[in-house]
Structure 1
């Protein structure tokens, strides 16, 4: 019997969950629970981690999971590595649904860096006002630069957790994509942004800031995706559905 574990957290994962439900496929949607305000998938859900590879192995066995689809964010590298190892240990088919990375176009001024620490080091005095479009989890990397830069942060939801940046050095914006190009243009102008720091998340939801930066001739410090072991991949929910059909 087909029993799917969908590792989600992205818009594409939500679309796939809707398609699985419509097709009558038995599936469970799992997400980390970091974000408080989230899209509610039309599937039974679970929240939180599994307890590493061994915990995931135990869950897959206990729930009699037959297939795993990893539709987590491209930067959720540890979860993806755990899924690779757990599925390999049990011989469970694994498919990664991963949106293509953005590619630089003429006019883009990208500086590629491998991680957030490198992104913070890449800031220069010519970039006094920085739009950190990276979420909340890795802001601490920029704390050593707070004396020389003013940061505009955009996160999905408000929490009681203190930010690792001084209040005098940052502004907090609460918003969830997709973001329109006109809105991103206005944000960059309103906050007099000199530079954007962005993860190469891919997809259309948050690409407008890259377009707006291109129009204004602003540099973008682009954090490249973490490297993962080779795995079977697709890009679109419909391709994942086709794969699942071929497995039956």
Structure 2
């Protein structure tokens, strides 16, 4: 049975595994950064490969015929390693990336390149920080929402432990309760955490948005699970 490696950890990765399991051997690889991840169907491995060389060795040892990178849009290091490893091993690679968010009527967005730039843009305003644990140390105050607590704790930052999906009503109530003056987010895209953007618009709260890291040159990219399934089905991912 042909083997497809899905670099996952996202809703898209889980949905893709659902679609592919049955006709193929599907192995989903999760980075292991979340203590209790939502697991996809099929085989699952958790943890890194040991860089490019380790991933090349895995692809060859497991007879992987294709790789679909369905990691988070900000998992730039994993994507770069996958592109290089697949090039070395001669294995087809597809990057599945949900479309990013776009400002709409009534939005007040400021785009920045990093969490440190976001912290500088926030200034002295009370921020609702939804960029995850990585980069949280750049902030000196505000309220941060994460799945797992930051290690070490960040002085001055109140941490709320929660996991989406979220509702607009819930996000409005949270921002009012904590007297939020500015929202900080990565351009993650998707619907699971988009309610905060609608809530910020309704409350007239500005948003600082961290841009996605660039993709490696030459990789093939699609935006939906259906397109990824079609890529595998037409033979691109079947070896």
Q: Could you tell me the TM-score, scaled by structure 1's length?
A: 0.91
Q: Superposition RMSD on alpha carbons, in Å? A: 1.3
Aligned equivalents of 1:27, 1:94: Cα separation in 2: 15
Aligned equivalents of 2:31, 2:205: Cα separation in 1: 33
Aligned equivalents of 1:43, 1:151: Cα separation in 2: 40
The SS at the match of 1:66 is strand
The answer for the alignment partner of 1:217 in structure 2 is 204
After TM superposition, give the deviation of residue 158 of structure 1 in Å: 4.3
Pick aligned residue for 2:148 from 151, 157, 164: 157
The 1:14/1:238 distance shift into structure 2, 3 A limit, reads same
The SS at the match of 2:163 is coil
The answer for the alignment partner of 2:27 in structure 1 is 28
Aligned equivalents of 2:86, 2:5: Cα separation in 1: 11
Tell me the alpha carbon deviations over residues 145-183 of structure 1, each in whole angstroms, 9 at most, x when there is no partner. Answer: x2xxx3111111347x331x21xx222111111111111
Paired residues of 1:130 and 1:196 also in contact (CA < 8 A): yes
The answer for the alignment partner of 1:192 in structure 2 is 179
Q: Could you tell me the TM-score, scaled by structure 2's length?
A: 0.95
Tell me the alpha carbon deviations over residues 182-203 of structure 1, each in whole angstroms, 9 at most, x when there is no partner. Answer: 1111111111100111000000
Paired residues of 1:66 and 1:92 also in contact (CA < 8 A): yes
The answer as to 2:53 corresponding to 1:63 is: no
Paired residues of 1:3 and 1:27 also in contact (CA < 8 A): yes
Aligned equivalents of 2:72, 2:6: Cα separation in 1: 13
Aligned equivalents of 2:39, 2:7: Cα separation in 1: 14
After TM superposition, give the deviation of residue 2 of structure 1 in Å: 2.0
Aligned equivalents of 1:157, 1:180: Cα separation in 2: 20
The answer for the alignment partner of 2:4 in structure 1 is 4
The answer for the alignment partner of 1:231 in structure 2 is 219
Tell me the alpha carbon deviations over residues 62-90 of structure 1, each in whole angstroms, 9 at most, x when there is no partner. Answer: 11100000000000000000011111112
Which runs of at least 4 in structure 1 moved beyond 2 Å after TM superposition? none
Tell me the alpha carbon deviations over residues 14-37 of structure 1, each in whole angstroms, 9 at most, x when there is no partner. Answer: 11111122x432110101000012
The answer as to 2:38 corresponding to 1:73 is: no
Tell me the alpha carbon deviations over residues 102-128 of structure 1, each in whole angstroms, 9 at most, x when there is no partner. Answer: 011111111100111111111223x1x
Where do 5+ consecutive residues of structure 1 fail to align? none
